[in-house]
Amino acid sequence: MLQADVITGENKPAGKIELPADIFGTEVKKEVLHGVVRNYLANQRQGNASTKTKGLVSGGGKKPWKQKGTGRARAGSNRSPLWRGGGTIFGPLKRDYSYKLPKKVKWGALDGALSAKFSDGEIVIIKDLSIEKPKTKSLAHVLGNLGLKNVLIILPEENKSIKLAARNIPNVNVAVVGKLNVYDILVHQKLLLTEQTVERMKEVYLG
């Protein structure tokens, strides 16, 4: 087990907490992290870019002019890619960029990302995080006390008040245990966890 300091919302010491080494102390494999991040970004692509080939463009049923005797170049269709308004050659078509990775790879990358953040001292553990009303000012005050500007807040369960309060703060996002992804962990400078978050991680990620 690993140990980490716990602080209050006023940035005062509040004891220590034990972190499971299977989550925060695993080997960091950069190639695995890179592969999982690429997979996440690929799965976010909509793939809506689309052009029409010669066969998809309307019109072009009649030969523009006879084959010989006009003095002009031969033409079989006014929908030819050589013509204005014609089809597009080798243009993009709608496609699905998503692909699947083995669950073992995803879990390993998640543990690796959390371990990398812990070893770099980029995980802050707070005793508890709660605000009475979903006001940005309230959450910004807590983050200001902790000196956090670019942070991913990881909660044990959905909290509508904190989620609403965080949406207007730049570079601050909220995630829930069980729905974490490697990209969100790595793209933020710091991670903010509560003691309950750590306990929930043990239940979800260690079974």
Q: What is the CATH number of the domain that holds 194?
A: 3.40.1370.10
120 in the same domain as 167: yes
Backbone angles phi, psi at 71, to 5 degrees: 85, -5
Out of 63, 96, 129, a domain closes at: 96
Out of 35, 66, 96, a domain closes at: 96
109 in the same domain as 89: no
Range of the domain at 79: 47-96
When divided into structural domains, the chain yields a total of 2
153 in the same domain as 125: yes
**Which candidate, 195, 188, 149, 190, places its Cα nearest to that of 169?**
149
39 in the same domain as 60: no
82 in the same domain as 175: no
Cα–Cα distance, 34 to 85 (Å, whole number) = 42
- pLDDT tens for 32-86 read 999 999 999 999 999 999 999 988 898 888 899 999 999 999 999 999 999 998 9
- pLDDT tens for 161-200 read 999 999 999 999 999 999 999 999 999 999 999 999 999 9
